[in-house]
Amino acid sequence: MPDLTTTYGRPALHLPIVPSEILKRFFVDEAADTRFASNARLLQAIWREDMGMEAGRHQGRDGRSRILGSRLSPADAAKGRNFLTPDIARIVYREVAYREIGALIDEQRLWANLLSSQPLTFNLFARCRANPDYASDLFSILFPDFISRVTDIAFEHSPGRGDPAFLGDGTAFDLFVSGMSPDGAPAFVAIEVKYAEAMHQPLRGARQRYRELASAQGLHVDPEAGALVSEALSQLTAEHLLAGLIRNQMGSTTHGLFVVLAPRQNREAWNAILLYKAQVRDDAPVAFLAIDLDAVITAIGQVEQDDLASRLRARYTDFTPVHALIDGWEPFAE
């Protein structure tokens, strides 16, 4: 996993443990946050302030409401300000209205939660939905061996939620890209997007179904490995199995790829990703690939005509403003 960023001409080997007084100043002092989530939440609050938007409020389990710096006010959320450009917000508005039956889209998180990976998914890929040529250019840069022409894009996609012919549960991909491979065969790329998540999720109810499918599909080195259904890996296992079932349905000539996209600074996520990668066979019928969020942003910069890539980087991966707050501390100040 590559090391992080450079600030003020010096290498920053990792993100800081942000002092509590800084977190409290921006209303983002959340005890449950991992180190990366704390930095990412602060970055979102700084970005929100730079954009001139007010902080929203969070209602805790105790019923009390408090300001949360990584949340948008209802007025800004209603304007679509969680999205980087008006055209992206317009695409999101339509996608939410026409979402798949059973799709799990939490609209409050989508429109108001700056830290959520779902708005990130749309900020990255919404324009692919509106422009197939743009989508083909972008995905042929990102995955040149798997897809050369995009024919369809679907957000929060599952071929059959609750369908026993698949997983029998609500597992879905953040993004599902259909198209053609360079050799003219059908191809798809199924993508899971992570931002601040640490990958640890409650164990899923369909673990026995996962084990049965793992034994049948030939995706894993040891389909009986307990790690595949652990809290850290069960989501990745489920989505990879779902991708395998989709390939079975489409036919053996189909090129299939399951991708997890995450910021390289999110070490908890990458630890889980690398653990999962070690479980996957080199000759798996649906390949597994992990990709750094900044690599996707760089590819977007290669095909975009405006400044979307720089906006994405400032919003999500450039932690210079956080480092500046640390370096800006003045000891012995009055």
What are the pLDDT digits (tens) for 226-257? 999 898 999 999 999 999 999 999 999 999 99
Highest mean pLDDT among 65-79, 189-203, 223-237: 65-79
**pTM of the shown model:** 0.92
Q: What is the pLDDT of residues 304-324, one digit of tens each?
A: 878 999 999 999 999 999 999
> What pLDDT band is residue 206 in, cutting at 50, 70 and 90?
low
Q: How far apart are CA 64 and CA 157, in angstroms?
A: 35
**What pLDDT, in 10s, does the model give residues 292-302?**
999 999 999 99
Nearest by Cα to 284 from 322, 316, 255, 325: 255
* Contact in structure between 7 and 321 (CB atoms under 8 Å): no
Long-range contacts of 218-221 (CB under 8 A, 24+ apart): 218/281, 218/284, 218/285, 219/244, 219/280, 219/281, 219/284, 219/285, 219/286, 219/288, 220/279, 220/280, 220/281, 220/284, 221/278, 221/279, 221/280, 221/281
- Report the b/e string of 10-19 with b at 16+ CB within 10 A: eebeebbebe
**Tokens 């209303």 belong to which residue?**
27
- The C-alpha angle with vertex 181 and arms to 180 and 185, in degrees rounded to 5, equals 75
Give the list of residues 6+ apart from residue 146 with CB closer than 8 angstroms, or none.
181, 187, 189, 255, 257, 287
